[in-house]
Structure 1
Amino acid sequence: MFCNVSFNITADCSHPQWHFLPVCSTVLTFLIVLCNGAVLITFFRARILTTPFNVYLLNLLLTNLLHAILVNPLDIAAMLFPRWPYSSATCTLYLYFQRTGDAVMINSHVLICVNRLWAVAAPLSYRLHHTRRLAVTLCAGLWLWANSLLLPQIVQDALFVRPPGVCHLDVRPQWALAVSGHFLLFVFPLILMITSYPLLLCLRRRRPRRIYQESDFGNSFQMRGRCDSEDIPAPARRKHRSKAFTILTLLTVSVTICWSPLLILFTMTFFMDYFDSAFYQIGSVLFLLEPLCDPLYFAIVLHDLRKAFGLTFATTSGVESTSSAVK
């Protein structure tokens, strides 16, 4: 979660020390894997849902799932033991996936926000140029951008800074690099997302509503002519309110609530050498709630996703029941 608290290398690490934060993190991690995994399976099995806009949702869900599987168990281990219980190489991989996953998660929300701004502010350009290939390219570029700012910090920390028995990204020896990465990958994206939402509201009120239509399957702004999802059958297309904007509204509110406490705390740590353990625990729980909320928002708002979800898992359950009956 952005950075770790340092561990006492002289303390006994043979017995885990269970308390509120690791217990809560364990429960939430299980739910994150379950919810994000179920929605991802639905997306991949119902290929008609993989529209250009939904590529951003898939990228966010996949990042949430990988972070919960690769990072959260080691986060919990770091909370349970006062000394890092694994090797230095494991620590380096842990810090890499943790920092990169955090950055990609928050900036994946920003990609959704920028996509909506483009769709509303320049609908003709959006209709002509926004494709699956572009969406995949933007998501891949986001991963490269995060790696370019974070990988040098982690490599320098592993080679020159980190003492034995400690798994902690010490920002003091590389303060300028750490602060620039913190603001470029975390603080500025959150500010951009919050400030862009009122602008998007104004643009939506001024747009000519009569030229827009939206697909149930794509859940993204469309215009008459070439559609955002070219393989949607014509009878399935009908006019209704934008589900993409509803998703963006929910994501903006939840990201602001769930990410702001830790961002404020670590910004204060950079400049004031301030750290509050109780505030960190509250912020960590809120941070874990965001990747749990994302798939729930998508399942609640997107009608076709709910329908595909029911068909996917009802079919799976039916096959299992039939197999049991045959046996």
Structure 2
Amino acid sequence: MFNTTVNFSVELSNGTTLSPQSRVVWPFDSIMTLTCSILMAILNSALAAIFLVKRDLRSAFASYLTALLLFNVLVSIHGFLYVIKSQYPVYMRSHRLCDFRLYVSWVVTGIPLNLHVLITINRIWAIAFPMSYRNHHSPRLAWMLVAAVTVYVHVVCLPGVVLDGIYYRMPVEKGCVINTLAQPRWNQTAMLLIFEFPVAFIGVSWIYLLAKQRRHRHSVGTIALVAMGTQVQDGPTPPRNENTGKMQSNRRRFSRGFVVFSALTLSAVLCWTPYETYYVIWAFVDLNETDQRFVMLCLGLYLIQPVLDPVLIVLTMPDLRRTIRGIFDKMKAVFTRS
């Protein structure tokens, strides 16, 4: 099955192909896509279920992480459909199935990247305006913002997909790809707003927030030292200052949130930048030849990024690791008893 010659159509987020004119024998792309899609679906769905079931993990910030995991599960559908298109192209001649695939390619895959933008905005709010963040941010507001991002991606991407299905769909012999030549302005606008801008925004914002976080930690540490010095002057056995304890607790909470944010941001920037850079060049410049090794690198990084999200979240959240360890201990006890 994997030794057939397939059209080298490494799918971009918008359903077009990375190298439309290249035909190579490359069975590894289907194997890699299928493997990453299975891991993507299993890891993201399992971790999302833990966030939804465990009440002690249902913080406002965790709401964004849960939404990201759930949409990563939906993104795995794109990988499964790609394998079907590559290995069994006859099934993609169904107009409805092709419509669904293009919807997933353009709309569904664009939502997780923009959720990374939402997480970035959340961290800007938390670090730059901590009082406002503590007073106004809540899980309800977080889910409302997630819904707003979902609607935004649909508003930008869905019209082009619908118009392609009604007016511009290419013959089935061309494969299930969107006819971007018939809608060049929409193609470029959607590409820049949904796929290119988020990568640039979260990368630049991370540098800004890194500097802001360091200043924040320094200021909190200075205030805590002053408070401790005041306590020492008051007597030989001073009582614990509640404000100092709260400041230290806030410092630890903001630090943990920034570590999680940094891990997700860096993985998104590193994995998406080559992919989106190639697409910018391909969309605006006519490329006759493409280095297949670079294309393979772009595809691999793109596929691995949603797999990394749940792994990085677990590695950077001690409370979550303890919860997962407890779940495994209970499962081990059940199997040992039986």
Instruction: Give the TM-score normalised by the residue count of structure 1.
Output: 0.82
2:108 alignment counterpart: 101
Correspondence 1:160-199 to 2 at 5 A:
160-165=167-172, 166-199=175-208
2:302 alignment counterpart: 287
Aligned residues: 295
1:235-272, CA deviations, whole angstroms, 9 ceiling, x for partnerless residues? xx686361211122222221121111121111112111
Q: Where is the helix percentage greater, Structure 1 or Structure 2?
A: 2
Closer, same or farther in 2 for the Cα pair 1:37/1:318, shift >3 Å?
farther
Bigger-Rg structure (1/2): 2
Correspondence 1:36-55 to 2 at 5 A:
36-55=44-63
Q: Which of 1 and 2 has higher RCO (CA within 8 Å, sep 6+)?
A: 1
Q: For structure 1, which runs of at least 5 residues remain unmatched after alignment?
A: 12-16, 213-222, 228-236
Correspondence 1:4-153 to 2 at 5 A:
4-5=16-17, 19-68=27-76, 70-81=77-88, 85-153=92-160
Matched, 1:156 2:163: yes
Residue 29 of structure 1 and its aligned partner are, at CA, apart by 1.5
1:4 is paired with a residue whose SS is coil
Letter matched to residue 270 of structure 1 = A
Residue 176 of structure 1 and its aligned partner are, at CA, apart by 0.6
Could you tell me whether the CA contact under 8 Å between 1:7 and 1:83 is conserved in 2? no
2:177 is paired with a residue whose SS is coil
Aligned counterparts of 2:258 and 2:83: Cα–Cα separation in 1: 35
2:285 alignment counterpart: 272
Aligned counterparts of 2:251 and 2:54: Cα–Cα separation in 1: 22
**Bigger Cα displacement from structure 2, 275-284 vs 102-111:** 275-284
Letter matched to residue 4 of structure 1 = T
Q: Once superposed, what is the RMSD of the aligned Cα atoms?
A: 2.7
Q: For structure 2, which runs of at least 5 residues remain unmatched after alignment?
A: 1-11, 225-241
Instruction: Give the TM-score normalised by the residue count of structure 2.
Output: 0.80
Could you tell me whether the CA contact under 8 Å between 1:64 and 1:105 is conserved in 2? yes
Matched, 1:249 2:252: no
Residue 59 of structure 1 and its aligned partner are, at CA, apart by 0.8
Aligned counterparts of 1:171 and 1:320: Cα–Cα separation in 2: 55
Closer, same or farther in 2 for the Cα pair 1:100/1:85, shift >3 Å?
closer
1:168-227, CA deviations, whole angstroms, 9 ceiling, x for partnerless residues? 012111111111111011111111111111211222232232589xxxxxxxxxx97xx9
Aligned counterparts of 1:290 and 1:55: Cα–Cα separation in 2: 20
Correspondence 1:308-323 to 2 at 5 A:
308-319=323-334, 322=337
1:26-75, CA deviations, whole angstroms, 9 ceiling, x for partnerless residues? 1111211221122112212211101000101001111111211x221101
1:243 is paired with a residue whose SS is helix
Letter matched to residue 177 of structure 2 = H
Give the fraction of aligned pairs with identical amino acids, expressed as a percent.
28
1:233 alignment counterpart: none
